[in-house]
Amino acid sequence: MAGSAAVVLLVEDDRSVRETVADVLAEHGFVVIEADSGASARSLLDERTPDVIVLDLGLPDVAGLDLLAAWSSAGAAPVIVLSGRSGEYDRVVCLDLGADDYVVKPFSTRELVSRINAVLRRSTRVAPTGLLHFGALSIDTDAREVLVGSEVRSMTAKEFDLLAFLARSPRQVFTRAQLLHNVWGSSPNWQDENTVAEHVHRVRRKLDATDRDRWIQTVRGVGYRFVAATGDDHPAR
């Protein structure tokens, strides 16, 4: 974002909430484009690519989850979900669909600004590129593709980022707080550390490891580390 203001697409049908949030974001230096429906949000995305999308799930014309799934799949921009539902199930569903963060209503505008900045820091961080190869597991950080043998394993952006981050430092143990900081650009003050555990579970499931610690090992009371078969702990690049 150096040299230019970050563009935020704010999708919120409640006019008073939308105007309040837009004013606060503008005061913090963001360029805000506003949409009051799914249709208007789609039209705006056809005209301009934002740096981050703030999406209220309760829209009048389309299911917010459908928009989230479509935008995450297309890589339109990082998405921060706004929702009145605080349950774990709702948060997990949104993370599964590719949300970068989940903010429960009512929320502090100051907190939302911090979360937007955290997402932008993560999305603009330059990551090492190349191919990481551990026996049957290959992680192509340029193509953002994971293969086990010759089979491609589909992952959300966050699942890929988590696996790639751990794989770049084999056998190094990271706490959940460290993973929140390095992968999500967040912290336990803003985001539940269970987010990390949920993503680890999904990555393991998608890798189809018969041994749950085959690739990502739980270090009890500490966190997680990437491990591979004996002799495969050093990635071929």
Give the HSE-up count for residue 206: Cα atoms under 13 Å, Cβ half-sphere. Answer: 18
Fold of 131-226: Arc Repressor Mutant, subunit A (1.10.10)
Is pLDDT of 230 > 50? no
pLDDT in tens, 189-226: 767 788 899 999 989 988 875 555 678 999 999 999 99
Higher pLDDT, 125 or 143: 143
Sequence ranges of the domains in the chain? 7-124, 131-226
3-state secondary structure of 35: strand
What is Dmax (Cα atoms) for the chain? 59
Residue 12, exposed/middle/buried by CB under 10 A (0-12, 13-18, 19+)? Answer: buried
Q: Does the domain formed by 7-124 have CATH 3.40.50.720?
A: no
Q: What is the pLDDT of residues 22-31, one digit of tens each?
A: 999 999 999 9
- For residue 16, pLDDT beyond 90: yes
pLDDT greater than 50 at residue 231: no
pLDDT(2) > 70: no
6-34 average pLDDT score: 94
Question: Could you give the C-alpha distances from 137 to 115, 171, 209, 225, in angstroms and in order?
Answer: 33, 16, 11, 16
Q: Is the pLDDT higher at 74 or at 20?
A: 20
Residue 19 in this model has a pLDDT that exceeds 90: yes
The first and second tokens of residue 60, run together, are 């009048």
Q: How far apart are CA 228 and CA 232, in angstroms?
A: 6
Residue 139 has pLDDT above 80, yes or no: yes
pLDDT in tens, 97-110: 888 889 988 888 98
Same fold, 7-124 and 131-226: no
pLDDT bracket for residue 141 (50, 70, 90): confident
146 pLDDT higher than 70: yes
Instruction: Give the pLDDT score at 126.
Output: 45
Round the average pLDDT of the chain to a whole number and report it. 85
pLDDT at 133: 87
Q: Is the pTM of this model over 0.85?
A: no
